[in-house]
C-alpha cells in the first residue's frame, strides 16, 4: 500500500509517520498492492483531527477522528476504518481481500453483527435546473443538510451539502 501523509498547519514528525506506516501495514491484508492511503492531520488550536482515506479498485473507505493528540486521533481513525470493513465484510467481498476480513472478524471480540439495509421511505421529486447558489438557498429554506439538483449549465445531477464547520460542499459525479 502506498501511504501519503499530509500535515495542515503542522509539520509531521518522523515518529508519527513511522507509526502511520506501521499501523497501516496491518491493513495490507485487506487491500491489494495497488491501494493508496492518504493520512491528513489538521491542527486547530488544541484540537487535532486525523483523516485516513484508503482507495483501492474503485473502492474508497474513509475515517476521521479528533483528539487532543494526533496519535490518539490516528489510532481511533484506524480502529474505526477496520471496524467498518469487518462490519460490512459480506458486502465488500468482491472489493477487499475476503479471507483476511473473515480471519479478522473471527479474531475480533467486538465485531458487530452485520446490519441489513432497511429502506423506510422512498421519495420522488422533480430535479429542476438551478445554479449551486440557488440549490444552497433551496436546501437552507427546506432545512435540509443536503440537496440534489440538476446543474443549469451542464444538465448533470449534482448535490450540495452542509459541512460540520458550516461551509458547503458540492458533489459532482465523474464520467
CB atoms within 10 A of CB 69: 11
Report d(CA 95, CA 27) in Å as an integer. Answer: 14
CB neighbours of 17 closer than 8 A, spacing ≥ 6? 5
In angstroms, rounded to a whole number, what is the distance separating the alpha carbons of residues 147 and 73? Answer: 31
What integer pLDDT is reported at residue 104 of this predicted model? Answer: 53
CA angle 36, 41, 45 (to 5 degrees): 170
Q: Give the pLDDT of residue 19.
A: 94
Q: Are 159 and 173 in contact (CB under 8 A)?
A: no
Per cent of the chain over pLDDT 90 is: 39
pLDDT at 140: 78
pLDDT of 138: 83
Q: List pLDDT tens digits, range 21-57.
A: 999 998 887 788 888 999 999 998 888 999 999 888 7
Q: Is the pLDDT of residue 169 over 50?
A: yes
pTM for the structure as a whole: 0.62
DSSP codes of every residue in 98-140: HHHHHHHHHH-TTPPPPPPP-----------EE-HHHHHHHHH
Domain 129-171 in this protein, CATH class:
alpha beta
Instruction: Reply yes or no on whether the pLDDT at 84 is more than 60.
Output: yes
With a cut of 60, say whether residue 86 has pLDDT above it.
yes
Domain boundaries, the chain: 2-107, 129-171
pLDDT of residue 170: 95
Rounded distance between C-alpha atoms, residue 57 and residue 87, angstroms: 19
> What's residue 103's pLDDT?
53
Please, which pLDDT band fits residue 115 given cuts at 50, 70 and 90?
low
**CATH annotation of 2-107:** 3.30.160.100
**3-state SS class at 82:** helix
Q: Which residues of 121-160 are buried (b: 16+ CB within 10 A; e: fewer)?
A: eeeeeeeeebebeebbeebeeeeeeebebebeeeeeebeb
Amino acid at each position: 500500500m502506498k501511504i501519503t501523509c499530509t500535515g495542515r498547519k503542522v509539520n509531521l514528525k518522523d515518529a508519527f509517520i513511522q507509526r502511520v506506516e506501521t499501523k497501516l501495514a496491518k491493513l495490507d491484508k485487506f487491500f491489494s498492492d495497488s491501494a493508496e492511503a492518504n493520512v491528513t492531520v489538521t491542527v486547530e488550536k488544541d484540537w487535532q483531527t486525523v483523516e485516513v482515506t484508503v482507495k483501492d479498485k474503485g473502492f474508497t473507505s474513509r475515517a476521521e477522528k479528533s483528539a487532543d493528540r494526533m496519535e490518539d486521533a490516528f489510532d481511533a481513525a484506524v480502529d474505526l476504518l477496520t471496524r467498518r470493513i469487518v462490519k460490512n465484510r459480506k458486502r465488500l467481498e468482491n472489493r477487499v481481500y475476503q479471507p483476511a476480513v473473515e480471519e479478522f472478524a473471527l479474531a475480533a471480540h467486538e465485531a458487530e453483527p452485520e446490519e441489513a439495509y432497511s429502506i423506510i421511505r422512498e421519495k420522488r421529486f422533480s430535479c429542476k435546473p438551478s445554479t449551486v447558489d440557488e440549490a444552497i438557498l433551496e436546501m437552507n429554506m427546506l432545512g435540509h443538510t443536503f440537496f440534489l439538483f440538476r446543474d443549469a449549465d451542464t444538465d448533470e445531477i449534482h448535490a450540495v451539502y452542509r459541512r460540520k464547520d458550516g461551509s458547503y460542499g458540492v458533489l459532482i459525479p465523474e464520467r
